[in-house]
């Protein structure tokens, strides 16, 4: 489904992450815990090595003075989304270039502008992304909702702006990775995001 006025280019069907992959990644991360874990450390190292521009984006966002909950959420979402793409597409997932990352950032920013200018339309950026990567957006939204509604009402308030900052970075990461997947048996058409 293509939405009128959308700045975000459609994600090819061969690059859509299945929900079971995200379920597996989530279960694996939950089982491994988030403390000192060599498997998790190895995953972060692979992320930095195989996607240096995306890793730099994540580092830039996560080095900001963020609320503790938003910071933990940011680390979790970045590694979980990247792992899901790595698991789903393996060697078909190419390194996202700096230009492709900038294109993804620009697309999300332009989509936000388009949606703000057409507030009467029922869709927002998240809705457009959910059309393109439904399982990833469901995963992101589930974890953002959980972060914003702590189980313990005595807990301090979570900074909604900080959570939005890490969520937006996860949207850019998702879009960039989506267009970094090469089709089966073919070269990835680089002009999709150029």
DSSP assignments along 96-124, one per residue? PPHHHHHHHHHHHHHHHHHHHHTTTSS--
Any domain includes 9: no
Any domain includes 191: no
Any domain includes 190: no
Secondary structure (3-state) at 175:
helix
Secondary structure (3-state) at 181:
strand
CB atoms within 10 A of CB 75: 16
pLDDT digits (tens, 9 = 90+) for 115-149: 777 667 656 788 889 999 999 999 999 999 998 88
Any domain includes 100: yes
Any domain includes 24: yes
Chain-wide mean pLDDT for the chain?
Answer: 86
Print the domain residue range for 89.
Answer: 16-29+38-151+158-183
pLDDT of residue 2: 43
- DSSP secondary structure of 54-94: HHHHHHHHHTS---HHHHHHHHHHHHHHHHHHHHHHGGGBP
- 179 pLDDT more than 80: yes
Any domain includes 192: no
What is the percentage of the chain residues whose pLDDT exceeds 90?
62
In the chain, how many domains are there? 1
Any domain includes 168: yes
């Amino acid at each position: 489904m293509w939405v009128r006025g959308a700045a975000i280019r459609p994600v090819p069907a061969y690059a859509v992450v299945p929900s079971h992959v995200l379920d597996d990644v989530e279960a694996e991360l939950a089982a491994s815990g988030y403390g000192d874990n060599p498997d998790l450390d190895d995953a972060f190292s692979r992320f930095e090595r195989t996607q240096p521009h995306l890793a730099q984006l994540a580092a830039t966002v996560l080095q900001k003075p963020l609320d503790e909950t938003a910071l933990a959420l940011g680390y979790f979402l970045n590694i979980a989304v990247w792992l899901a793409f790595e698991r789903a597409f393996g060697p078909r997932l190419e390194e996202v270039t700096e230009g492709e990352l900038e294109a993804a950032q620009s697309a999300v920013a332009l989509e936000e502008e388009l949606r703000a200018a057409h507030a009467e339309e029922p869709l927002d950026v998240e809705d457009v992304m959910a059309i393109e990567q439904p399982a990833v957006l469901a995963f992101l939204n589930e974890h953002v909702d959980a972060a914003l509604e702590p189980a313990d009402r005595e807990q301090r308030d979570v900074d909604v702006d900080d959570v939005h900052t890490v969520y937006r970075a996860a949207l850019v990461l998702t879009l960039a990775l989506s267009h970094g997947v090469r089709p089966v048996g073919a070269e990835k058409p680089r002009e999709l995001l150029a």
